[in-house]
Amino acid sequence: MKSKRANLPRSWWPAIFLLVLSSAQSFAQERPDARLIQLIQGAEKEAKLVWWTTTNLDLSQRILERFEKKYPSVKTELFRAGRGPLLNKILAEALAGRYAWDVLSGSGEMYSPLMERKLVVPYRSPESKAYDGSMIGWDGEWIAYHTNSYVLGVNTRLVKSEQAPRSYEALLDAKWKDGKISLDSDAYPVLIGLSQAWGKEKAVNYLRRLAAQNPVVKRGNDERVQLTAAGEYPLVMAYASGISRVAQKGAPMEWLGLDPVVVQVNPLQVAARAPHPNAARLFTDFALSKEGQEMVRSGLREPARADVESPSSASLKGFKRVVISPENYQDYKEYVRLYQEIFRTR
């Protein structure tokens, strides 16, 4: 039996070609590659993932819940602590020969002690192609999980928009003297960042002049932001994400970028002696994926992935950014000493 060939108009050919190409691309995207299949199979055999983090508990739990939903054969365990206690726990357990964690998300200050003791291992996630070069360690031993941008928070009931200081120099005006500015006693990355941008001498001299304003210096970003929202201080130097969180709840707060904006990287790392190495890499891929980073954004944190924009990253376009990567903490103790001397916190 002869088949009849349909004579399609030539004008239809481009549309048909695009439809076929789109279907092929969609099929290729949905089909997991051999590496991923192997990783999933390995993680399913291990059946567990242990994540140690400094990120807030609520967001971390939600991310693990989503991961377990995606990979139900892998059960998860979470441990959350501040950077000092968490680093001390890791080092103490390693000294005792105990290696319980698979993945760590912490602060940049933790990087050098872990590297010196060979407690982390390079891992180049396929997701890293979606990250700016400043968000990835040159050796693959870390990649940014989220960032913290240091900005100036303003209580809008106490300070009119046109009166708010919009530069570092403006903070030295006499009207902001004697308890009008709240500073973090642990904001050592600010000194590191300004030293990178201006040179160490100029940065130290600036902070000495700022200290002469008699700011209120105490520890804790969230607590200081809340006190500023309550009217305790007109101005607060803090993370953009923390100020955004209270503003979203209706507090009279807004934040302003000061040029240059100091950006602190919070890295994600895989343990060199991870008890569940396949699960560690599978979770790292998930945390760095667009889905994982959108969850970071939903928790009002600053995602590090380039194609997941947060309100703060959008608002800071046009500002010069000074990124403090984990490698920038090599002279950390000296910067801590200088900062404490300047603000007399010790």
The DSSP symbol for 190 reads H
Sequence letter at residue 273: R
Whole-number Å distance between alpha carbons of 85 and 82: 6
What pLDDT score was predicted for residue 20? 47
Q: Taking each helix axis from N to C terminus, what angle separates 200-211 and 332-343, rounded to the nearest 10 degrees?
A: 30
What pLDDT score was predicted for residue 317? 84
Residues 6+ apart with CB under 8 A from 40: 32, 71, 282
Residues 6+ apart with CB under 8 A from 306: 130, 131, 132, 135
What pLDDT score was predicted for residue 19? 52
What pLDDT score was predicted for residue 300? 83
Question: Chunked in runs of 10, what are the mean pLDDT values of the chain (346 residues)?
Answer: 46 49 46 85 98 95 98 98 95 97 96 95 96 92 96 97 96 97 96 97 98 96 95 97 92 96 97 98 98 94 93 83 92 94 90
Q: Which domains does the chain have, with CATH numbers?
A: 32-145+266-309 (3.40.190.10), 148-263+331-343 (3.40.190.10)
What pLDDT score was predicted for residue 29? 47
Q: Which of 172, 191, 201, 185 is nearest to 262 (CA)?
A: 191
Specify the 3-state DSSP secondary structure of 173.
coil
